[in-house]
Amino acid sequence: MLLGCIGDDFTGSSDLANTLSKQGMRVVQYTGVPESPAAEDVDAGVVALKSRSIDPAEAVRHSLAALEWLRAQGCVQIFFKYCSTFDSTPEGNIGPVADALIEALGAEKVIVCPAFPGTGRSIYQGHLFVADRLLNESGMQNHPLTPMTDPDIRRWLAPQTRHAVGHVGAGAVLAGAASIKDALQAEHMAGKRLIVVDALRDADLMEIGAAADGLPLITGGSGVALGLPQNFARRGMMVPRATTWRGEAGKCVALSGSCSRATRAQVAAHRTSHPSFEISAAEVITQQLSPETVTNWALTSEGIPLVYSSADPESIAEVQRQFGRENAAQALEAFFADVARLLVAAGVPKILTAGGETSGAVVEGLRLTTLEIGPEIDPGVPALRAGNGLVVALKSGNFGAEDYFAKAAAVLGAGT
């Protein structure tokens, strides 16, 4: 294994695996830290953790365990993957995990780059944009767990880390890899260890990737990994290869717990031509609705049935006031996991999930340990094989076109 990756949630990890696979790497995504060695033909291993919103000390512990396993597989470079909207609180968990990895690896200049232009995320003058909006005007300011109220990544990261935060601006990035290397070195000499790097285009990510050749640790969204495989190919350490895929025939069910603007638009579009079942945290917490009821509805519905709890920010706030933020989130996650288990037990071969927390709960509930990377459905979202007879797609809330659910079902069934 050449590149070892640590993802702080499951959808982001599959997003990263998709990026690396498209560049010719043989990639496997693991749920949690594996108990056995990786196969010998794996170029990049992505250890997917559910560490984004847990206690920072626990996030560090899980991340260091993942690092230990990846180093045991022979990895020569480590990538810490977080969301392209930099989802975190002022306490973490991006900063604490990055600090722990820096110490373990002895890393001196560490790129911080959540940019992903393919999905509208760009960084300019250290500020994160979602399409033409600053991060704090994009809807992310209403996130129920990690509300992002400041678009300046330097300022948001600073209280999370023990290290000084630097910046490489767009001018240096546009001048290419050599310029980026020089700018990183200059920031390092100025005492900066975590260095936010601007990126506006995929071409910028390729140059940043080239500049990262030989660095022990890189952090960012999946986009900045775009240029890393070529470093290994140039050195003759890997031969790029194409992804192969054969999907599954049969029923497909979509489970959505995301409240993002993109997912809410996808839910609205899907409901016009497919059955849908809306659930609420209140119904789940008070046990007015059971997983069995929802599962039976999905199994007897035509088309691509959608089970969703994608409420608007005002509704979410009211539920949180009534039941508590953590109670509401955990109840919905457990409910979706139970529904997924019942669906798979009934023989459903294709499951779609929307939302990082929902996807993580479903993956853990189904005890999916190894995911093989298939073709891309939408930017950042690949089809995944979870074993014989089961394929899945794990979508971050903000990703995907309006027809995502129908498109994903078609890709999961491709080749059958």
**pLDDT tens for each residue of 222-236:** 999 999 999 999 999
Query: What residues contact residue 126 under an 8 Å CB cut-off, 6+ apart?
Result: 152, 153, 154, 167, 169, 196, 198
**pLDDT tens for each residue of 102-139:** 999 999 999 999 999 988 999 999 999 999 999 999 99
The CATH 3.40.980.20 domain(s) of the chain lie at: 252-412
Pick the CATH number of 252-412 from 3.40.50.1000, 3.40.980.20, 3.10.129.10, 3.40.50.300: 3.40.980.20
Rounded Cα distance, 179 and 210, in Å: 11
The CATH 3.40.50.10840 domain(s) of the chain lie at: 3-234
What is the pLDDT confidence band of residue 144, given thresholds at 50, 70 and 90?
Answer: confident
CA-nearest of 389, 397, 395 to 407 is: 395
> The whole model's pTM is what?
0.87
pLDDT, residue 212, reads 98
**How much of the chain exceeds pLDDT 70, in percent?**
99
**pLDDT tens for each residue of 34-54:** 999 999 999 999 999 999 989
Measuring CA to CA, how many Å separate 124 from each of 109, 204, 374?
A: 20, 12, 32
CA-nearest of 219, 226, 210, 215 to 153 is: 219
What is the pLDDT confidence band of residue 313, given thresholds at 50, 70 and 90?
Answer: low
What is the pLDDT confidence band of residue 260, given thresholds at 50, 70 and 90?
Answer: confident
Measuring CA to CA, how many Å separate 365 from each of 16, 50, 301, 307?
A: 22, 13, 23, 17
pLDDT, residue 187, reads 98
pLDDT, residue 317, reads 72
Fold observed for domain 3-234: Rossmann fold (3.40.50)
Residue predicted with more confidence, 119 or 323: 119
Rounded Cα distance, 120 and 259, in Å: 18
Q: What end-to-end distance do the CA atoms of the chain give, in Å?
A: 32
Residue type, 338: D
Q: What is the mean pLDDT of residues 326-337?
A: 88
**Checking DSSP bridges between strand 44-48 and strand 121-124, what pairing results, if any?**
unpaired
Is the pLDDT reported for residue 352 higher than 70?
yes
CA-nearest of 377, 396, 20 to 226 is: 20
Structure tokens at 75: 């990895």
Q: What is the mean pLDDT of residues 175-191?
A: 98
Asked if 192 and 165 count as a contact pair (C-beta separation under 8 A), the reply is: yes
What is the pLDDT confidence band of residue 410, given thresholds at 50, 70 and 90?
Answer: very high
pLDDT, residue 276, reads 97
Positive or negative: CA dihedral 162, 82, 87, 92: negative
Q: What is the mean pLDDT of residues 160-166?
A: 98
Is the pLDDT reported for residue 259 higher than 90?
no
Asked if 78 and 27 count as a contact pair (C-beta separation under 8 A), the reply is: no
DSSP-H helix ranges across 107-201: 153-157, 170-174, 177-189
What is the pLDDT confidence band of residue 196, given thresholds at 50, 70 and 90?
Answer: very high
Is the pLDDT reported for residue 171 higher than 70?
yes
Q: What share of the chain is helix, strand, coil (3-state, %, to 5)?
A: 45, 20, 35
